[in-house]
């Protein structure tokens, strides 16, 4: 029965699995053209471990009342029996193909991100600086300076900005197991693999750029040193966690190191893109959750600027491209199925 259920899972999710596989193979082929192996077992294993850790966190969260209040004598056996119902096992089997694809895809994308300078040297930063100044009359961070540049505010924004990674791991698992919303689930994953490949891959290669915080150490452009000085000054009062990460990314870039989570690219902003995608998908399921993740999307937009990772135009372009992909996928699925995709339901 397990084998039959697994085949049924592949058949049920064939469209989104096909799109995800095509996107993965496209990135692998691009990397191979530069002599790079995008399918490193160590990176795939590390990525898989992060998903498994997140899955364990979900299981603990689901059983928190049991753990804290009921405290049975055989805790792990009781949790196992509660989780391994027939319905639960069928959900796991159904999610396996999608989760395995997620295990593989992100390490390939990370290798692609690290290899961007091999395809196109960083050359767009000065253009994006000028675009921002043409739109706002100054660097975008300067508009936000009077209201946000306090140590506690910057520390909070930096913390929330890095929580974005949970959209990859927790968000991926959430939709992999969200079998009661098949239309939204399929639309999410087709859009997910498409935005990473088109926006984070192809567009990032063409618009090869490093962003404000890396402009000086990597390109010798000093325009954003005042921003970085203000972040470093705030860090003297309360840790601004992006600074250590940025320093490590510079070190990896200068030494040509690649791997999961490494590589530098500014345009378009994948932080903004994925935050918007998650908002667009979640609001189809819950109005209240949509409001929460809509606020998170706005924080990511602001955070991408004040942390120095992005020019404002990086987020604007990313948001526009993400929305176009989301709408296009919805239209395509509607055309294929003949029904509307994802209606908003109250939480």
Which pLDDT value is given to residue 341? 47
Confidence of residue 77 (pLDDT cuts 50, 70, 90): confident
Give percent of the chain above pLDDT 90.
68
More confident residue, 39 or 141: 141
Does residue 344 form part of some domain? no
Q: Which pLDDT does position 261 carry in this prediction? A: 52
Residue 2's pLDDT band, with cuts at 50, 70 and 90, is low
Taking only the tens place, the pLDDT of each residue in 23-70 is 999 999 999 998 998 888 888 898 899 999 998 888 888 778 777 777
- Which pLDDT band holds residue 338 (cuts at 50, 70, 90)? low
Confidence of residue 257 (pLDDT cuts 50, 70, 90): low
Does position 347 have pLDDT exceeding 60, yes or no?
Answer: no
Instruction: Answer whether residue 287 is part of any domain.
Output: yes
pLDDT greater than 60 at residue 333: yes
Position with higher pLDDT, 78 vs 169: 169
| Interval 217-232 mean pLDDT | 95
Q: What pTM was estimated for this model as a whole?
A: 0.89
Angle between helix 165-176 and helix 182-194 axes, rounded to 10 deg: 140
**Cα separation of 86 and 145, whole Å?**
55
Q: Which helix (H) or strand (E) holds 37?
A: none
Residues 29/11/54/2 CA torsion (nearest 10 deg): -120
Q: pLDDT band at 1, cuts 50/70/90? A: very low
In this prediction, residue 92 carries a pLDDT of: 85
Q: Do residues 219 and 122 make contact, with C-beta atoms less than 8 angstroms apart?
A: yes
Considering only residues 80 and 260, tell me which one the structure prediction assigns the higher pLDDT: 80
d(CA 282, CA 285): 5
Distances (CA, A) of 131 to 74, 124, 189, 347: 62, 11, 32, 41
Q: How far apart are CA 235 and CA 154, in angstroms?
A: 9
Torsional sign, CA 268, 269, 274, 275? negative
Total count of domains within the chain:
1
Among all chains, which residue has been given the structure tokens 């096992």? 89
Instruction: Yes or no: say if 191 and 326 are a contact pair by the CB < 8 Å rule.
Output: yes
- Residue 345 placed within a domain: no
In a domain, 160, yes or no: yes
343 falls within a domain: no
Range of the domain at 222: 2-337
User: How many Å apart are CA 303 and CA 324, to the nearest integer?
Assistant: 23
> Does 342 fall in a domain?
no
As a whole-number percent, the residues of the chain with pLDDT over 70 amount to 93
Would 346 be classed as within a structural domain? no
Alpha-carbon separation of residue 292 from 86, 208, 316 (angstroms): 33, 32, 21
Model confidence over 96-132: pLDDT tens digits?
A: 999 999 999 999 999 898 889 889 999 999 999 999 9
CA 172 distance to own-chain centroid: 9
- pLDDT at residue 172, rounded to an integer: 95
Query: Is 290 contained in some domain?
Result: yes
- Please tell me which residue, 344 or 189, carries the higher pLDDT value: 189
What number is the average pLDDT over the span 199-220? 95
Separation CA 158–CA 161 (nearest Å): 5
Q: What element of type H or E holds 332?
A: helix 312-337
Confidence class for position 346, pLDDT limits 50, 70, 90:
very low
pLDDT tier, 220 (very low <50, low <70, confident <90, very high otherwise): very high
Looking at residue 19, its pLDDT comes to 97
Residue 256 Ramachandran class (φ > 0 left, ψ -120 to 50 alpha, else beta):
left
């Amino acid at each position: 029965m397990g084998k039959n259920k697994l085949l049924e899972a592949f058949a049920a999710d064939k469209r989104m699995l096909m799109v995800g596989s095509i996107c993965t193979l496209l990135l692998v082929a691009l990397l191979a053209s530069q002599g790079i192996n995008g399918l490193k077992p160590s990176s795939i294993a590390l990525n898989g471990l992060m998903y498994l850790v997140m899955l364990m966190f979900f299981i603990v969260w689901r059983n928190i009342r049991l753990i804290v209040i009921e405290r049975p004598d055989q805790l792990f056996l009781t949790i196992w029996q509660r989780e391994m119902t027939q319905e639960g096992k069928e959900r796991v089997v159904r999610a396996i193909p999608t989760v395995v694809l997620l295990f593989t895809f992100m390490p390939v994308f990370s290798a692609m991100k690290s290899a961007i300078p091999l395809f196109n040297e960083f050359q767009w930063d000065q253009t994006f600086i000028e675009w921002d100044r043409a739109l706002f009359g100054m660097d975008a961070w300067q508009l936000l300076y009077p209201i946000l540049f306090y140590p506690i505010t910057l520390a909070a924004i930096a913390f929330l900005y890095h929580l974005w990674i949970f959209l990859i791991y927790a968000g991926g698992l959430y939709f992999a197991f969200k079998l009661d919303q098949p239309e939204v689930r399929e639309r999410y994953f087709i859009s997910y693999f498409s935005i990473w490949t088109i926006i984070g891959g192809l567009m990032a290669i063409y618009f090869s750029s490093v962003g404000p915080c890396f402009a000086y150490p990597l390109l010798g452009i000093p325009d954003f040193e005042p921003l970085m000085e203000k972040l470093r000054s705030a860090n003297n009062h309360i840790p601004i966690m992006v600074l250590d990460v940025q320093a490590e990314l510079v070190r990896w870039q200068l030494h040509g190191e690649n791997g999961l989570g490494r590589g530098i690219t500014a345009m378009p902003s994948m932080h903004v893109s994925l935050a918007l995608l998650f908002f667009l998908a979640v609001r189809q399921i819950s109005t209240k959750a949509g409001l929460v993740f809509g606020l998170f999307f706005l924080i990511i937009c602001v955070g991408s600027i004040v942390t120095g990772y992005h020019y404002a135009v990086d987020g604007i372009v990313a948001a526009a491209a993400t929305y176009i992909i989301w709408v296009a996928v919805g239209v395509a699925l509607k055309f294929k199925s003949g029904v509307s995709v994802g209606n908003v339901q109250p939480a």
